[in-house]
Structure 1
Amino acid sequence: MKIAFHGAARAVTGSKHLITLKNNKQILLDCGLFQGMGEVTEGLNESFGFHPEQVTYMILSHAHIDHCGLLPRLVAEGFSGPVFCTPATMELARILLLDSAKINEQDAEYANRHIKRVEDQEMPLYTEADVQKTLSQFKVVAYQEDHEVDEQISVRFTDAGHIIGSAAVHLSIREDGKNHRVTFSGDVGRYGDLILKSPQTYSQADYIIMESTYGDSLHKDLKPIETSLREIIQQTCVVKKGKLIIPAFSVGRTQELLFALNALELKNQLPDLRYYVDSPLSLEATEVLKNHPESYNSGVKALMKRDDDVFSFKGLKFIESVQESKALNNDPRPCVIIASSGMAEGGRVRHHIRNNIDQPKNTILMVGYASPGSLAGKLIAGRRSVWMFGEEYDVLAEVKSIQSMSAHGDYEDLLHFLACQDPDKVKQLFLVHGEYEVQQKFAQRIREKGFKHIAIPEYHQEFEL
């Protein structure tokens, strides 16, 4: 049995991990889109490093685009097997992939406007038709259910507490008369999350593929989210009469923001302003979250006894049409605008940043991880000028960050996730989904917990298990 790492290897996006058995069966764990990696991003997304038609099974940990966003291209290039995931992941993947296909097709159309020769025209990574075919291959598996994939392979999902439907994947693979247990963490959420249950424990694994996004960071030492939000809104919108622009992923982060703002209203601490969510996708994702209250933690369930909609509050409006979105740029009144994407690499938020970045009274607030090469990453790093839409813009608006809003666990959460394992029984632990320097620091913390065999795979590197 071999495993090769074709994405999220010494990087944070593009999750793809391919297990190949001796009989040539192949199991692909995640099939994510690379995002925010500068000029190389497009090339990374166009080449898998393996043959899609040879993949037997695909298992999806959760619906974030950096974990599922290349699935339709995988199918378009020949993958015809089943895609196993939780029910909520399928619901979210449907809306996210259809939206991604629309963006891909629009981008290709825009790029081809002035290219006359058909052979020179740019093709989208995939189309809506590719997404529909992909969705027809989805098969849902409930949490804590041992699902027999075939006579040799079974899979079990445990709640990873990252977003609705997110799962750690536990494979049982029988080969050479032995049972091999492989755990893939997916993205690990936080113990004590605002909304979701904490990650679940799981049985002993022989091999662990572990995410490490915040392997050198602690979130708990920062201010409470509600306090930070209230202070930033007060200073920007009430004192300076400016606009607060918040890039936020449509799934997970936007709902956390709405929950925190609703909590401020319940305490009579929410400034009387207009609050816009400028993302049709966020509206759909919020509805999916509302449809799965079984994933809420006990605190949210208790709150729902006195507040039947914990994601709504006075002054909130979801913006759906492009015309309404553009109108926000011409409205001089102070307001809060939450829009995707979270790394500000695309979507409507990029337009809002462009229209508000040159005024000191405005604030751009980052609420989670942003890769260094992304627009959000550059702003967090303190760049005084940035390129957008082919032009250079001076950064005069204030840039702030609330790292504690990350849906990823910090290093204590990640170590907690591993605490149910006997280190002496883990034959190999692979660190993925993290920047290399961060992974090296986290590897040392894991060694201190007794794990002896730790690898940090390079892109396309293969290991014999």
Structure 2
Amino acid sequence: MLQDAAHIQEQDTLWVNYKRISHGEPPLEPLFTLKDALKAIEQYYPVKYEEAFSPIPGVTVRFFNAGHILGSAAIRLDVEEDGQHKSLWFSGDIGRKDLPLLPEPVFPSDVDYLLMECTYGDENHDSVDFAYEKFKAIVIKTVKRGGKVIIPAFAVGRTQEIVYFLNMMASEKLINSLPIFVDSPLAVAASKIFRGYPEYFDEETNDFIRKEKHPALDFQGLHYISTVDESKALNEKRGSAVIISASGMAEAGRILHHLKNNIEDKMNTVLIVGWQAPNTLGRRLVDKEHKIKIFGEEYALRAEVVTINGLSAHAGQDFLLQYAAAVKGRVKKIFLVHGEPEAANVFQDKLKEAGIGPVEYPIYRQEVEI
């Protein structure tokens, strides 16, 4: 992923610099390059969940399962300094209860300071069960009319959840002989990693694997697409199919080609399974704009567009409150991060109502000594 991100940084900077130079402005440097990424990767080494290690003298670190995506971790720091012990827990992205594949997040305990995300501090999500029922209905409806389901999806996490949903549908005999394609090099690579670590799946997923006697992310009818030629060939296929491709907000990647070739057919469905940022192609699809521009060309949006909001990998407000309540009465201060001001302010009020705190929402570049 880091190499992929570096490539995007380099390409975006080239585009920005093209405009800057034409206006007589000095060029910018990318945040990091592929060379930087490869150098950073050389420093990697694995650490198991809850295994203590000391990066520098006086500091002990442990990772705890954050339940967000495979391998995501909250970080606990225990610091010994000047004869004093202080502890800090950084939540990272907090996952949800009952998400497909992954166990629930480990809650913080017995810490002095908590830094926690509040992305959805102002709202809750539909349940995962509700999202699955809606997903099933959309796929079945589209297949019955002979259309394709085109799904822009984040390569890591969301793609694997959707594949698991389709696996469940196949096991229920709801999509017999329906071809399913995962068409994203990063998603294919990430799915291979997921398949290699079933010990990190939740108990429900492992029960499903034992019952169905096949892996969670590999079943009859599922095809992982790697090459460009294979990807192009999908646009020549006739009949119903499901195509899952990146990027999740439809701003780049192979999904653009699949949208270009399919959104003008009213038999098809574009299924949006994640939040779409303003001014992205994904948001324009959600808003059902009549004309959609892809690669500089306009296409009429005739395909049905459906949004499912219950698949976010971020905890909603109620679960965030449970997470913070785990340190109620013990924590010296909670810092809210990774949330827009509106969400953070609403969540800050909720914490105060529950008697959890004190709470602070730091401003950009603010420094705090603890």
For 1:147, what is the secondary structure of its paired residue?
Answer: coil
Partners of 1:155 and 1:171 within 8 A in 2: yes
Q: Identity over the aligned pairs, expressed in percent? A: 39
Per the TM alignment, residue 116 of structure 1 is displaced from its structure 2 partner at its CA by: 11
Aligned equivalent of 1:349, options 255, 275, 288: 255
Q: Secondary structure at the match of 2:283?
A: helix
Taking structure 2 as the reference length, the TM-score comes to: 0.88
8 A Cα contact 1:248 1:341, kept in partner: yes
Q: Is the 8 A contact 1:205 1:426 kept in 2?
A: yes
Separation in structure 2 between the aligned mates of residue 391 and residue 178 of structure 1, nearest angstrom: 63
Asked whether the equivalents of residues 98 and 128 of structure 2 are also in contact (C-alpha less than 8 Å), the reply is no
Picking from 209, 212, 216, the partner of 2:118 is: 212
Alignment match of 2:340 (pick from 422, 425, 435): 435
> Per-residue deviation at 1:433?
1.8
Q: Distance in 2 between matches of 1:248 and 1:265?
A: 20
SS in 1 for 2:62: strand
User: Hey, what's the Cα distance between the residues in 2 that align with 1:116 and 1:441?
Assistant: 43
1:337 corresponds to which of 243, 253, 273: 243
TM-score, normalised via structure 1 length:
0.71
Match for residue 243 of structure 1 among 136, 148, 164: 148
Q: Secondary structure at the match of 1:195?
A: coil
Counterpart AA for 1:246: I
Q: Distance in 2 between matches of 1:318 and 1:170?
A: 37
* Alignment CA distance shift 1:103-1:452 (3 Å): closer
1:384–1:429: structure 2 CA closer, same or farther, 3 Å change rule? farther
| Unaligned 5+ runs, structure 1 | 1-95
1:194 corresponds to: 100
CA RMSD of aligned residues (A): 2.8
Candidates 180, 201, 208, aligned match of 1:275? 180
Whichever residue aligns with residue 343 of structure 2, its letter is V
Deviations 1:173-200 (A, max 9, x none): 3344422221111111112222111111
CA offset at residue 338 of structure 1? 0.1
Match of 2:364 in 1: 459
Alpha-carbon distance, 1:410 to partner = 1.5
Contact 1:233 1:271 in 2 (8 A): no
| Counterpart-to-counterpart distance in 1, 2:246 and 2:177 | 23
Change in Cα spacing, 1:275 to 1:453, as seen in structure 2 (3 Å) is same
Aligned with residue 227 of structure 1, among 133, 145, 159: 133
User: Is residue 140–residue 174 contact of structure 2 (8 Å, CA) maintained in 1?
Assistant: no
CA distance in 1, matches of 2:283, 2:180: 24
Task: Give the counterpart of 1:162 among 68, 72, 82.
Answer: 68
Instruction: Say which of 301, 319, 322 aligns to 1:416.
Output: 322
Residue pair 1:370, 1:377 contacting (<8 A) in 2 also: yes
CA 1:363–1:414: 2 relative to 1, 3 Å: same
- Is contact 1:226-1:261 (8 Å) kept? no
Report the 3-state secondary structure (helix = DSSP H, G, I; strand = E; otherwise coil) of the residue aligned with 2:160.
helix
Aligned partners of 1:177 and 1:373: how far apart in 2?
Answer: 52
Change (3 A) 1:459 1:360: farther
The residue that corresponds to 1:173 in the other structure is 79
| Number of aligned residues | 367
Aligned to 1:302: 207
Whether 1:265 aligns to 2:144 is no
User: What is the CA distance between 1:289 and its match in structure 2?
Assistant: 1.1
The aligned residue for residue 445 of structure 1 is: 350
Report 1:357-372 matches (<5 A).
Answer: 357-372=263-278
Secondary structure in structure 1 of the residue aligned to 2:310: helix
2:237 maps to amino acid: D
The CA distance in 1 between the partners of 2:130 and 2:75, in whole Å, is 31
Question: 1:408 is aligned with what amino acid?
Answer: H
Q: 1:437 to 1:387 in 2, by over 3 A?
A: farther
| Shift in Å, 1:106 | 5.7
Work out the CA distance in 2 between the residues paired with 1:112 and 1:330.
37
Partner of 2:311: 405
Counterpart in the other structure of 1:65: none
Q: For the residues of structure 1 that align with 2:159 and 2:318, how far apart are their CA atoms? A: 24
Match of 1:22 in 2: none
CA distance in 2, matches of 1:113, 1:450: 53
Residues 1:293 and 2:217 are matched in the alignment = no
Specify the code of the residue in structure 2 equivalent to 1:287: K
Tell me if 1:203 matches 2:109.
yes
Higher mean alpha-carbon deviation, 380-389 vs 202-211, is at 380-389
Tell me the alpha carbon deviations over residues 235-257 of structure 1, each in whole angstroms, 9 at most, x when there is no partner. Answer: 22322x22211111111111111
